[in-house]
Chains A and B, each alone.
Chain A
Amino acid sequence: MKRPNEMSITFTALSENEAFARVAVAAFVSQLNPTMEELTEIKTVVSEAVTNAIIHGYPDLIGDVFLHCKILGDRMELVVEDHGVGIDDLETVRQPLFTSRPELERSGMGFTIMESFVDEFEVTSEVGMGTRLRLVKRMAAQQVAAGNEV
């Protein structure tokens, strides 16, 4: 069986690493020939997931963010994980405009944006253990190329 192409990065939960995470994932998935728009959407999704881990996962300490990216045919799978405080009410957190940190002037749109830009979205969380986001996005351009194969 062919081994899927994947990569993992662990980095300190500091906001200056958000741009690094976006660029690293964008560079890795470029082999799927995404369109500019798809690439920007992927960067946005990475940014939202990583920012959530930094701000909400670790509100009082600087932990680590674990990022894992896998190429699955014409799709990319992204997993972003923190070992922080966790979320006790996933339903509320997923509501548009909800933010647990209004003092930071957050828009509360992070989860809604992620859900809009990917094909599959999954959140698992345990209070005191951390949160794991799993997202899958299919590249439309790649789909066309695959469809042309005989």
Chain B
Amino acid sequence: MKVKLESAHRGSMLIASLSGELDDHEADTVRTILDREMEKSGAKRLVLDLADLTFMDSSGLGVILGRYRKLKAQGGQMAIANVSPTVSKLFEISGIRKIMTVYRKREDAVHALKEEAL
């Protein structure tokens, strides 16, 4: 499991690209990296790019929901891009789609969060 991080819009946005398999075994690592980087950068907007994520289960949903709740409490925002059909189904079942917009392309997610912040 790898987490590649990029900063955008003068550090106000963090873009995290996840690759590999996000299950219960990897959830803690991803959670720790994301929380640490968000705190370090002071970014209040987070884009999760799941293009290279080869597997995810409900442990991954827990990580995503946890980050969403944390950001929301701080007045921040979060968006997701590039989900596979099965992950899309997981989002549907869990209701994540009702609280977060899922974008086809990462640029769209970045753009949407930038617009919302204006």
Contact = CB atoms under 8 A, between A and B. Distances in A.
The reply to whether chain A is a binding partner of chain B is yes
Contacts of B62: 104-107
Interface of A: 15-16, 18-19, 22, 37, 40-41, 43-44, 47-48, 51, 54-55, 96, 104-110, 112-113, 116
> Which 3 pairs across A and B sit closest by C-beta, in order of nearness?
A15-B25, A107-B61, A107-B62
B108 interface: no
B66 to A, nearest CB: 4
Contact of A44 (B25, B57, B63): B57
Contacts of B31: 105
A44 B56 CA distance: 7
Range of interface residues on chain B? Answer: 20 to 34
A48 B93 contact: no
Contact of B55 (A15, A22, A104, A112): A22
B24 A51 contact: yes
B63 to A, nearest CB: 7
Chain B binding site: helix, strand, loop or mixed by DSSP? helix
B24 A37 contact: no
Interface string B38-71: 0000000000000000010111011101100000
A105 B55 CA distance: 19
A107 B23 contact: no
A54 B21 CA distance: 18
Contacts of A105: 27, 31, 62-63, 65-66
